[in-house]
Structure 1
């Protein structure tokens, strides 16, 4: 039988995150609720002047084994699981002296934070909560009679309900129970993920993912699709940690594109000032410069048409000069590791322009997993953290690349890693001058990139296509010489590509015939 409203006469409180618990308990006590608690929570409540019973008063046993055993007892679980409308359950409670618990307030040992802090194996193990999840699941199962609170943000909701109805409604108890099971599921997911890594199991039999709602979104990629933004427990600087200073609420596409932009610009952590301009998750311009404003101008030059309505990511704090440049065209989002006051004042005049500030750059070389859903399943792979240095390159042509060509080749290949395959990137002097993305043919990507360089030249009144004198990067091998020859025709002088095609000899010969310098990386960067 489903009980409509449950009066709360007794509450058990046992929390690791003690934010707000004293005020919540004080409000419960003012409503006549008896408080039962454990360990540090009980001490905190007593220090706040509240009358609190120890859980040992319910169980008849003291806490033991360093607190590992304190709530795993029929005196607690009977009070949570008993069906109050079944005579035999009520009789059993009376026979064994089990007191009903109407409200359970539990948040779990901080396992996720412990792992994130880099704790050792034994410390992580000790932060696996046992009694907490057991109580949460028991209370959630018996939600017809028991309310269960696992998040501090639900304290106010519970108090408002008690004040309005004199108890907890079935509707709220169901919501709390659903949230409780989601919390224990996420907790177990974090433990299983950590455990697999700790023992070196790269393909565990079962894999789980979880997230916490950051915000509901108006819609997804298209207006007929529902969407929401969830964050994992992993703290990585970027859109998931950023503080939005101004502008409209972020959309699904904004979040996706901003993430792509910040991941790309974070490739240049420790390098010169760099800017990436993104449209539909693809870069339309990337550049380094002597200042962040110069880097922006060079990135914009690559494709000023596509940059309209794009996302701009910076690897340095936003300056007043850069803000003036960026606001000359319509931009959806700017994300940067900080901004000066003058820059924010300039942006403030653009009310719809979203400004996101972070505490730093993302770790572009980090590990971790990437998961993609397919019909009926998941695809899981490690993140593409691969990086190429000059020492990794194999020069395969007669002509050696110059020092400037070598620097541009490495720059272009780093950008190509973030361009949808098939990817072709022309670069010159630390800036992209043509990008071809997402084509079914590498030849088509090469031609599109060359055409983009011509368009950019016309837009900037240059006397020749920007690809002339550039280098070209390909995210994967050239299957035939045609894509390479298209790059040569566009004016490229040097090429970087992974190699590995059965036609490598033909491609190398074509490069030699065209007078190109070509280096092989041995690493490809497909991005689908």
Structure 2
């Protein structure tokens, strides 16, 4: 990354409740010629350390008031944060009002959740509802095109290093903005939850008696209404904050004490797991543990956005780097799973990436120590072999049960595949086809996965027709990277292999892959138009294998 692709940090706004590390950051910024603007106690802390600082009052021309409730809520602050300095009109308007733009905003919020947890009074908790802080954070995050926002002390070192090397890149600012929006969303959620609790009637000693009376009357009682004691007898081990959406209640149950899997995973760090965290973590584990070689899967919204495997003698960090490279944009805020121990090298790669959950069979001591510095990262250790012998899904008025869909059928063995078109694949191509076939099972149908060098390079999923999935896989492979500094990514579909989780109903879907330059395709076959698909591959000189096994996943 060249210096020209970075935006220099000339002016920074620092306003933090937690002063940990702020002096060191301010000192480094000052040493690199950055003007520091700060609020009351933050400014005093920095000034006492011998670092020059401009009080926000001198910028706004207005004193802090109402016991500190109003200090940064002023146009001279927010215009400096929200101005897109790439636009001449914005620069002219700032100049007309004699306002200087900010390049960096460093804010952490009042400890609302901490005050609630510590048993604060109603008035104390209300005063910890931050107003100015979230406003600045959201403004800077919205304007990540030109402004960097830092909300975690653990990222101060990153900010200091950026100041020394000429500023942040666009991709780095976007990652910081993603973290910032997540933080303000969690903050508002905590406030909302607490406010709702104040409106609810307190529990009475007769709550259990009422439940038992209801049971005697044979009224329908939801398992979500059971007492903790009764729930424990049914294997329910935790009450989650909420379900898929905030208005839904949720609990966690372990159905097999001997093989608890993800439900009984040991949490080694981070915040409590949520319902959606468990859903995505399950999808990530499924994707990673489908592979016998070392593998890393990155999942977002129950679908892999990246997956890669490497040789047994390679550090798992390489698989993570390849998996992250499938789609770095979607990887932010995702879940990472690996079927091998997390090494320090992998942990060092994960640390700068905003990640919700990481799960693995184990962690090197130094890796775990490093990951625990990310206080919000949920770290899970899995035990036992991955096993899903039976899959269950509730429907209206009943439940569906089926054998688990493992990658262990005869058709999953490349030696049993049928060569339908083109020449037999060489060893490297066959290895990529095997990887793609094992990986596509974890993708929601209709699923198309492009792979090269043991890593996914483009994934099309969840479309209502296979044609769109083919287009999406090719598009994501070839346009990846356009978000970063305006650079176009290479056409990664060309030379890749492709896997389809079910047959091509027509040749048009396969033709999209052929036109994109894939070198080989693996698919189940079984369409009445299989011959049309085979002929299209033959005409293009592309190898196609049929597995006779389908891995369709709703």
Please state which band the TM-score falls in when normalised by the shorter chain. 0.5 to 0.7
User: CA offset at residue 174 of structure 1?
Assistant: 7.5
How many residue pairs align between the two structures? 329
- Residue 490 of structure 2 is matched in structure 1 by 464
Deviates more, 1:170-179 or 1:290-299: 170-179
> Separation in 1 of the partners of 2:215 and 2:359?
32
CA distance 1:312–1:178, shift in 2 (3 Å): farther
Is 2:397 aligned against 1:382? Answer: no
CA distance 1:408–1:308, shift in 2 (3 Å): same
- Residue 532 of structure 2 is matched in structure 1 by 506
CA distance 1:178–1:382, shift in 2 (3 Å): farther
> Separation in 1 of the partners of 2:375 and 2:512?
44
Is 2:245 aligned against 1:219? Answer: no
* 1:282-431 correspondence to structure 2 within 5 Å: 282-289=303-310, 290-363=314-387, 367=389, 369-387=390-408, 388-431=412-455
Structure 2 unpaired stretches of 5+: 1-204, 217-232
| Poorly superposed stretches of 4+, deviation over 4 Å | 169-180, 457-463
Contact 1:237 1:362 in 2 (8 A): no
CA distance 1:443–1:344, shift in 2 (3 Å): same
CA distance 1:214–1:237, shift in 2 (3 Å): closer
CA distance 1:351–1:462, shift in 2 (3 Å): same
> Separation in 1 of the partners of 2:360 and 2:526?
38
Give the 3-state SS of the residue equivalent to 2:479 in structure 1: helix
Give the 3-state SS of the residue equivalent to 2:289 in structure 1: helix
- Residue 497 of structure 1 is matched in structure 2 by 523
> Separation in 2 of the partners of 1:489 and 1:235?
50
> Separation in 2 of the partners of 1:310 and 1:377?
32
Give the 3-state SS of the residue equivalent to 1:283 in structure 2: strand
User: CA offset at residue 236 of structure 1?
Assistant: 3.5
CA distance 1:378–1:463, shift in 2 (3 Å): closer
* 1:91-240 correspondence to structure 2 within 5 Å: 211-233=234-256, 235-236=258-259, 238-240=261-263
Is 2:291 aligned against 1:268? Answer: yes
- Residue 451 of structure 1 is matched in structure 2 by 475
CA distance 1:237–1:228, shift in 2 (3 Å): closer
User: CA offset at residue 248 of structure 1?
Assistant: 0.7
CA distance 1:238–1:462, shift in 2 (3 Å): farther
Is 2:458 aligned against 1:434? Answer: yes
Is 2:303 aligned against 1:277? Answer: no
CA shift digits 1:197-251 (9 cap, x unpaired): xxxxxxxxxxxxx951121111111111111111102643632121001111111
User: CA offset at residue 395 of structure 1?
Assistant: 0.4
Structure 1 unpaired stretches of 5+: 1-168, 181-209
User: CA offset at residue 464 of structure 1?
Assistant: 2.1
* 1:43-58 correspondence to structure 2 within 5 Å: none
Is 2:282 aligned against 1:256? Answer: no
CA distance 1:179–1:466, shift in 2 (3 Å): farther
Contact 1:277 1:286 in 2 (8 A): yes
* 1:28-39 correspondence to structure 2 within 5 Å: none
Question: When the two structures are superposed, what TM-score results if normalisation uses the length of structure 1?
Answer: 0.59
CA shift digits 1:410-456 (9 cap, x unpaired): 11111111110000000111110100000011111111111111133
User: CA offset at residue 507 of structure 1?
Assistant: 0.5
Contact 1:316 1:338 in 2 (8 A): yes
Higher radius of gyration, 1 or 2: 1
Give the 3-state SS of the residue equivalent to 1:349 in structure 2: coil
